[in-house]
Structure 1
Amino acid sequence: MKSKFIDSHAHLDDERFNEDREKLINELSGNGIEMILNPGADLNTSKAAVSLAEKYSIIYAAVGCHPHDSKYMNDETMNIFRELAKSKKVIAIGEIGLDYFYDNSDRIVQSKWFREQIRLAKELDLPYIVHDRDAHEDVFKIMKEEHYDGTRGILHCYSSSVEMAREFIKLGFYISLGGPVTFKKAKTAKLVAKEIPLDKLLIETDSPYLTPEPFRGKRNEPNYVKYVAAEIANIKNISVDMVAEKTNENFKRLFCL
């Protein structure tokens, strides 16, 4: 039986899909893609994610504000996220977190809205999806301080150490690996893939970004999640079918699907 895969993070609302979005989505099931989670990055993309999820059975949505755009956040935006989350196809808050690589928003502002959106996840009893770039210690500190019974979610496109991954897992989170694990020089990602148990891993594309080998440099898409699975299978010396089966189970367990 041909494996089915779940892409736990893809931005199909991105403008790079404008020309062929419908065709691409309609072909996904036939190409072995079972489900996709499309997170929001700001108010407009959150609305777009919900619209896509309500149109296509294969897609689920998350709503939230990426740290890049946290400078535009306010209480009204939070209320809109709260309303959007009433859709049955919204299964998480995200993507939220900290980004110290670009610093597009002030770090204090990023931290404020990261905390506020974690509290929204708690209020709505939803998992949350974390973006962490060059901010590992502060992300962990905030997540630990905001921890509550029922905390759960995903460290998306994980880029920190094995040791830190284990600490995030203790907080109730899954570690999601994407295209970078296929890169030859991605020693840390490959070590995480090797050392973290399969029952704590998810796979993703982060489409249209971070395209895996052998398509690096081209637009990424959910069909390529199988290359992430294949690399993890190679590293762990197990079958691709096993990676697909277990990461699918993890996803469905996390989101009660």
Structure 2
Amino acid sequence: MQIFDSHTHLNDTPYAGQEADFIQQAAALDVVEMAIVGSDTVLNDGALRLAQQYANLSAIIGWHPESAKDYTKATEATLIEQLQRPEVVALGEIGLDYHWDTSPRDVQQRVFARQIAIAKSLNMPISVHTRDALEATYQILKENDVRDCGGIIHSFNGDSEWLKRFMDLGMHISFSGVVSFKNAHDVHEAAKICPLDTMLVETDAPYLTPTPYRGKQNQPGYTRYVVEAIAQLRDVDPAEIAAATYANAHQLFKLGAV
């Protein structure tokens, strides 16, 4: 079984100096590839560094909505240059966060739309963060013709109807440890009906640790438990979920056929 963690933050502080150990631990759980995701200057640089250092890691870089207030012409110029490096497979994570509101909502919306335009110009998929902002996120994706570049709704946390609406825009749906939480009924129903050719899996580590390690620090290897949770919901072999999501990641990120 081969598993692809499509969204993890091995570039974040909890893993500093221990990245090789976590990569090895992930491999022991059949998580053999991962996308390291940035969100600002520091974390983008960290994602690039790790993807350059390890052949089984790829980088996703962009400006998170919480950092949108710090997005400038200079940071955009740097981002565009970095996006064209061979280790970068998508632009992200970008989107809207109306929970923390650390950047004004109009600024979040403008920076989100601008980064979609950049992704389209580079023919590159996007990785979308949306928290307490599903309707606004959907409208911006629709208005900006996101089908032209495609992408991911990362750590999907909506119900079956939202699943269908985002899929209608051509988006892939990535399930995180939330799908293993016993009270996440909407996400359970979405995971049951999500077409396998649209599905991805992730940890969003160090956040959203899945059962059976909920309450402890997450790590990329725990993508295995996300796969197992989805397989249990769908009453299939975990290897089926792993194979489909691994192939989908390779296709979306243009990493070559499996």
Q: Provide TM-score, normalisation by structure 2.
A: 0.96
CA contact (8 A) 1:47 1:84 kept: no
Given the superposition, is the C-alpha separation of residues 73 and 5 from structure 1 closer, same or farther in structure 2, using an over 3 Å criterion?
Answer: same
CA contact (8 A) 1:151 1:172 kept: no
What amino acid is the match of 2:12?
A: D
Matched, 1:103 2:101: yes
Given the superposition, is the C-alpha separation of residues 12 and 134 from structure 1 closer, same or farther in structure 2, using an over 3 Å criterion?
Answer: same
1:230-251 per-position Cα deviation (integer Å, ceiling 9, x unaligned): 1100111110000001111111
Q: Secondary structure at the match of 1:202?
A: strand
Pairing partner for 1:114 from 95, 112, 115:
112
Structure 2: distance between partners of 1:214 and 1:29:
18
Q: Secondary structure at the match of 1:9?
A: strand
Q: Which residue of 1 aligns with 2:194?
A: 196
Structure 2: distance between partners of 1:211 and 1:157:
12
Structure 1: distance between partners of 2:153 and 2:248:
13
CA contact (8 A) 2:146 2:169 kept: no
Structure 2: distance between partners of 1:111 and 1:204:
25
What amino acid is the match of 2:55?
A: S
Pairing partner for 1:40 from 38, 47, 54:
38
- Alpha-carbon deviation of 1:25? 2.0
What amino acid is the match of 2:68?
A: S
Aligned residues: 255
Q: Which residue of 2 aligns with 1:127?
A: 125
1:138-179 per-position Cα deviation (integer Å, ceiling 9, x unaligned): 000000010156320000001122112112112111100000
Structure 1: distance between partners of 2:146 and 2:14:
38
Matched, 1:84 2:82: yes
Q: Secondary structure at the match of 2:191?
A: helix
Q: Secondary structure at the match of 1:8?
A: strand
Structure 1 unaligned regions, length at least 5: none
CA contact (8 A) 2:116 2:146 kept: no
Structure 1: distance between partners of 2:231 and 2:26:
22
RMSD: 1.2
Pairing partner for 2:220 from 206, 219, 222:
222
Question: Percent of pairs identical after alignment?
Answer: 37
Q: Which residue of 2 aligns with 1:249?
A: 247
Structure 1: distance between partners of 2:85 and 2:29:
27
Q: Provide TM-score, normalisation by structure 1.
A: 0.96
Q: Which residue of 2 aligns with 1:28?
A: 26
Structure 2: distance between partners of 1:205 and 1:112:
28
Given the superposition, is the C-alpha separation of residues 216 and 124 from structure 1 closer, same or farther in structure 2, using an over 3 Å criterion?
Answer: same
Q: Which residue of 2 aligns with 1:161?
A: 159
What amino acid is the match of 1:224?
A: Y
